[in-house]
Chains A and B, each alone.
Chain A
Amino acid sequence: MTDTVIKCESVYKIFGTNAKKMLQEANGNVDAKTFQENGCIVGVNNASFEVLKGEILVVMGLSGSGKSTLLRCISRLTDATAGKIFIEGQDLLSLNNKELIELRRNKMGMVFQSFALLPHKTVVENIAFPLQIKGIKTKDSINKAMEMVKLVGLEGRENYFPRELSGGQQQRVGIARSLAVEPDIWFLDEPFSALDPLIRKEMQDEFLRLQEKLQKTIMFITHDFDEALKLADRIAIMKDGIIEQLDTPANIVLNPATEYVKKFTEEVPREKVLKIEDVMEKPNNENLSDLKVLRNEIIENVAEKILTQEKSVSVIDENNQIVGTVHPSKIISTVFGGKKSND
């Protein structure tokens, strides 16, 4: 059983002066329109979910969908209007200011869209900042920061100022800073949205590399569905403050829960998202070809090989046990099937 690190129960965030009162009167049924008529804006509407230890939860939504607000409720940069949030079993909303600061100093790290570096500090000083705030000695904090500089590959630039770095490099500093205190929970608020496409891809790979090493519990905000598919263990899709669907990338692509989600999935090249295990069938005693593919291979990577076969190929797990079969025709229908139906 994996541990739950972040747990939200019916979290609401409503902006406006009489938000609390209106929410009470609404009795849990929040309608964004009626609230707006009364001068309240609904940020987050009844969000309940859990994030498990070591998991990457990507929250995906377009601008104004409340995804950043949700993140800010969980990091308590804003206070949720109603609901309960638990961080490792601790009730976040009941913490006083001092406890909150302690929590942030030790357990949380956050990366921002616009990097949010301090312009008057060098790279290494920026990274050492959370440590120094904690009261760690300058020398120790700089040593630790230098480790982080190496981790994100900025050696040789540690004495540059943010203004002297490119966007990608600045975000590396932002990432290093958020990891300097070795937090368990890592929040990333559209960290790569301000970057060029090429740099963005590079940073995504870098992010996956880091996560493999560090195994943090992550909430990652993005408006880019492809990015979400690439990085997520699970994706939460938000619209107007409501979580429309929360599931694994494969399930979202295969079984979009609402029309809204379907719009995103339609254009997605399935072979790039789905794994063999998502399309395989139960093993039966039919005639199999000699080819064996791993269950967690992305379809795109093995499609060519499979399509050269005439018979079904066998799917194996890490221990070389056969767990299923895939017929080449299944691959064809997966790759082309979804699109045909739309034309």
Chain B
Amino acid sequence: MELLKKYPKLFQWLFLLVAFFTLYFAIDVPETYKFIRGQAEFIKDPNQSTYTLFGAEVRYYAFDVFWRLPPLLGWLPIWINDSLFFLMNDWMPIEFWNEDTQEFKTQPLVLQITRNLTSFITFLIELIREILLGGVETIVAFTSWDWISENSWAKLPGLPWTIVAAGAAILGYKLSGKGLALFSAIVMIYISIFGQWKPSMQTLSFILVAAPLSFIFGLGLGIAAFKSKRVEKALYPILLVMQTMPQYAVLVPAIVLFGVGDHAGVIITMVVAVPPMILLTLLGLRGVSPEVIEAGRMSGCNNLQLMFKVLIPTARRDILIGVNQVIMVCFSMAVISAFIGAKGLGFNLLLALNQLNIGLALEAGLCISLIAILLDKLSLAWANKQIDYFGNLTFFQRYKNIIFFSGAILIGIIFAYAGSFYFKEGFNYLYEIPHNKGISTADFWNKGVDWIWDTFFQTLKIFNTWLIVDVLQPMRAAYLRMPIVATFVLVMGAGYIIGGIRSAIVVGGLTLFIALSPWWDRALVTTYMATFGVILSCVIGFTVGTLCFQNKHSTNFMLGVCDIFQTFPSFVYLIPVMMLFGVTDTSVLIAVVVYATIPATRYTIEGLRSVPPSLHDAASMSGVTKIQRLLKIEFPLALPHMMLGLNQTIVFALFMVIIGAFIGTEDLGQYILKAISDKKGAGIGLTLGLCVAFIGLVFDHLIRTWVGQRKKHLGID
């Protein structure tokens, strides 16, 4: 009884586990049940049950409701799909004047809107792309193809790569100083020399369109949410879902609405990049001290002046951190958008991976990583830059960057011109080094991979087999064997213990959505892979974080490493694991572990670091040993923050598992990948995306609720 009073929660948890396992073992697997490897909804089988709702026929294998729920939401993807098609093709036909055929044409409204949007975005991308690389499309947009063929001189020449590289270096210098300038220059020269200039500039032009648009929308919506509680409340659930939605899943509906290509990528990138911008805008504006706002009001600001002269400049740093986030999201989307036909580095990477040409993939991946680090450093430098006083500078000081850049343009043009004499045959390397005509290290890497395979084949294979047969398969089977009623008891019970009835209903509702979708089994597989990854990541991350924290230098070093690794688009992580483990589940899981260890480590260090120094001193004066201090003081206080790290780890792991479908897994991700190439995949893709997001949200909700209570209990912010 004493124990019960002291740890009431402990007994609740124990009771929950007992209930869960009783149900787990009490309900037998139905004899007819088997995990269907193919796509169940396309199999016609006399054993299947069917029902029709909203004109959609849903086929499924019926089981006892304690074992599996019938897919009562099975109509949802079909219905979403049909609605989209209806919107695109039949709804509200309106007459439009068609320039090309010089006559009125009837088209559905939505189709017309998306077409106009598409051509606008395409125009922007082409414009920037041709400034960087040269081309005729922009001029065509103002004239016509006929005119171009008559006037073959008319094309945008494209900037020589030397000028772009110099521009990047000057930008780096302006924002941070010599170090960043040097780094920018090296990255640009590397890209050029190794023949990745063209795809890199294509990716860059993608970002240069997507990022500013996302910034404007994000800032606008952030301001609206700041001004009106109602807007904030309306946006909140969308923001929450978008945080845990795999980026990859939103690509699918984009195809239906906007077709395939860069423009579709840009538009869908905005959908993904706007939420973090909104959040950071809101955070920044909320963070402005009320006295500053009052000072603005007492200075006689009207609402507009208050917003643009007081609030936004004061929140500058947070808003620019938002810009940094936007840029990084845009970059990772630019890579993933290769799946829907966006050109650039991602496309090359995808191609190389498809051909299992690890060398080429590695080169593209390295380029992606370098550009990611560069963009991150530049935008962070911008955010952290203090404004300087410009009042009494000389003309040269004031305009020195512009002068330097003009000089760089001049020299670049002279170089390119001189190059055209020197490199008479073939390519002008001082103007633009064509794709894959630079130095290539692909052969070297490919040989390296071959060598690794030759040398370690046995070892790797033994490890691989052991992992799959002894660890993964049993774990997977254990997850699939879980009766649905046991799952609900576990999830809702945990919700109840942590956050009461309300939490139980929230997580129960999220789980119910997945349970009623046709993909419960797949969701279980996704969860099993994510669980495996999360457990390993947390063990590694918490250990490494704790060890590194013992020393100031290793702390900073580790945080730096985390910073760098975090900037890489998740897709890049698949390259080295494919190189080592080939196309298996093991590869995906290792990628998951590597990727998800980053937040686990980072949050552990940050959590330990947030323990106030006065407590350290107090503990030392009480005569604790290092271990005692860690166990009795640092861990308990850092635990809430470390749990937030766990939350991030789960989200990262889920993202990676889904991306891992590219290598070939049997979970939700695989279906998303299939939906991309399916004309009627929009509804499926969206529903699947929601399923993944909801898995993440269940954990997100539980962890956040717990952390909130714990922090209140400990009296820390």
The reply to whether B302 and A112 contact each other, CB–CB distance below 8 Å, is: no
- Choose one: A102, A112, A133, A177; the contact of B301 (CB below 8 Å): A133
- Cβ-defined contact, B314 with A120, below 8 A: yes
Q: Bound state CA distance, A129 and B298, in angstroms?
A: 11
* Contact digits for B297-321, partner A, Cβ 8 Å, 1 yes 0 no: 1111110010001100110100000
Asked if B391 is at the interface (CB within 8 A of a chain A CB), the reply is yes
Contact of B299 (CB < 8 Å), options: A114, A129, A159, A161: A129
> How would residues 116 to 151 of chain A score, 1 for a CB under 8 Å from any chain B CB and 0 otherwise?
111111100000011001100000000000000000
Residues of A within 8 A of B305 (CB): 133
State whether A178 and B298 are in contact (beta carbons under 8 Å apart), knowing that A112-B291, A114-B289, A114-B291 are contacts in the complex.
yes
Cα A338 to Cα B302 with chains together (Å): 53
Q: Specify which chain B residues have a CB less than 8 angstroms from the CB of A177 in the assembled complex.
A: 295, 299
* B452 CB within 8 Å of chain A: no
Question: Which B290-344 residues sit within 8 Å CB-CB of chain A?
Answer: 291-292, 294-295, 297-302, 305, 309-310, 313-314, 316
Whether the pair A122, B298 counts as a contact (CB closer than 8 A) is no
Q: Which residues of B contact A326 (CB under 8 A)?
A: none
For the residues of A in contact with B, the DSSP-based class is mixed
How many angstroms from the CA of A108 to the CA of B298 in the assembled complex?
A: 7
- Asked if A223 is an interface residue, CB under 8 A from chain B, the answer is no
**Interface status of B50 (Cβ within 8 A of chain A):** no
A120 near B301 with CB under 8 A, answer no
Q: Knowing A114-B291, A119-B314 are in contact, say whether A159-B389 is a contact too (CB < 8 A).
A: yes
Count contacts on A: residues with CB < 8 A to the other chain: 35
Is B294 within 8 A of A110, CB to CB? yes
Q: Check A109–B298 contact: CB distance below 8 A.
A: yes
Cα(A115)–Cα(B314), bound, Å: 14
Q: Please state if B314 and A118 are interface contacts (CB–CB under 8 Å).
A: yes
Q: Do residues A116 and B289 form an inter-chain contact, with CB atoms below 8 A?
A: yes
Q: Which residues of A have CB within 8 Å of B301? A: 101, 133
Is A163 interfacial (CB 8 A cutoff)? yes
Q: Is A20 an interface residue (CB 8 A)?
A: no
Q: A159-B389, A161-B386 are in contact. Are A75 and B314 (CB under 8 A)?
A: no
Known contacts being A118-B314, A120-B313, A163-B386, is A133 close to B294, with CB within 8 Å?
no
Select from chain A the residue with minimum beta-carbon distance to B303. A97
Asked whether B302 lies within 8 Å of A116 as measured between CB atoms, the reply is no
A248 within 8 A of B: no
In the complex, the answer to whether B298 meets A110 with C-beta atoms within 8 Å is: yes
The answer to the question of A53 belonging to the interface, with a C-beta cut-off of 8 Å to chain B, is no
A116 touches which one: B291, B309, B316, B386 (CB < 8 A)? B291
How far, in whole Å, are A181 and B301 apart by their CA atoms in the complex?
Answer: 13
A200: Cβ under 8 A from any B Cβ: no
Tell whether A77 is near chain B: CB-to-CB under 8 Å: yes
Interface check B387, CB cutoff 8 A: yes
A334 close to B (CB within 8 Å): no
Closest to B387 in A: A120
Interface centre among B294, B295, B302 (most CB of A within 10 A): B295
Contacts of A134 in B (CB 8 A): 300
Give chain A residues whose Cβ lies under 8 Å from the Cβ of B386.
161, 163
Residues in chain B near residue A97, CB distance under 8 A:
302
A113 touches B (CB below 8 Å): yes
Residue from B289, B295, B316, B389 in contact with A122 in the complex, judged by beta carbons closer than 8 Å: B389
Set A75, A118, A187: member contacting B292, Cβ < 8 A = A118
Give the shortest distance, in Å, between A124 (CB) and chain B (any CB). 9
- Report the bound CA distance from A259 to B364 in whole Å: 80
B388 to chain A, nearest CB (A): 9
Inter-chain CA distance A61–B305, complex, in Å, is 34
Contact call B300/A118, Cβ cutoff below 8 A: no
B294:A130 contact, CB within 8 angstroms: no
Known contacts: A159-B389, A159-B391, A161-B389. The answer to whether A116 contacts B299 by CB under 8 A is: no
Bound-state CA distance A119–B317 (Å) is: 11
User: Which residues between 387 and 424 of chain B lie within 8 Å of chain A, taking CB atoms?
Assistant: 387, 389, 391-392
CA distance A119 to B300 in the complex (A): 18
Contact of B298 with A104 in the complex, beta carbons under 8 Å: yes
Asked if residues A130 and B291 are in contact (CB atoms below 8 Å), the reply is: no
Interface centre among A106, A108, A118 (most CB of B within 10 A): A118
Cβ distance A311 to chain B, nearest Cβ, rounded Å = 56
Q: Which residue of A lies closest to B392 (CB)?
A: A159
Check A118 against B389 for contact (C-beta < 8 Å). Answer: no
User: A105 interface residue, CB < 8 Å from B?
Assistant: yes
* Cα(A226)–Cα(B309), bound, Å: 38
B291–A133 touching, CB < 8 Å: no
Given contacts A118-B313, A133-B305, contact A112 B294 (CB under 8 A): yes
B246 → A minimal CB distance (Å):
38
In contact, B299 and A130 (Cβ under 8 angstroms): yes
CA distance A120 to B389 in the complex (A): 10
How far in angstroms is the closest Cβ of chain A from B389? Answer: 5
Q: Does A112 lie within 8 Å of B295, measured CB to CB?
A: yes
Chain B residues within 8 Å of A108, by CB: 298
Residue of B nearest to A129 (CB): B299
| A120 and B299 within 8 A (CB) | no
Tell me the nearest residue of chain A to B305, going by C-beta.
A133
Contact present for A133 and B314 (CB under 8 Å): no
For A163, what are the chain B residues with a Cβ–Cβ distance below 8 Å? Answer: 386
Select from chain B the residue with minimum beta-carbon distance to A109.
B298
Bound-state Cα–Cα, A59 to B392, Å: 44
Q: Which residues from chain A contact B289 at a C-beta distance below 8 Å? A: 114, 116
The answer for the CA separation of A116 and B299 in the assembled complex, in Å, is 12
Contacts of A120 in B (CB 8 A): 313-314, 316, 387
Please give the residue numbers on chain B whose beta carbons come within 8 Å of chain A beta carbons, in ascending order.
289, 291-292, 294-295, 297-302, 305, 309-310, 313-314, 316, 386-387, 389, 391-392
* 23 CB < 8 A contacts A-B: A72-B294, A77-B294, A77-B297, A77-B298, A102-B300, A105-B299, A106-B300, A108-B298, A109-B298, A112-B291, A112-B294, A115-B291, A116-B294, A117-B292, A118-B292, A118-B313, A119-B313, A121-B313, A129-B299, A159-B389, A161-B389, A177-B299, A187-B298
Q: A77-B298, A101-B302 are in contact. List 4 more A-B contacts (CB 8 A).
A: A118-B310, A120-B313, A133-B305, A161-B389
A-B interface, 3 closest residue pairs, ranked by CB to CB distance from nearest: A105-B300, A130-B299, A116-B295
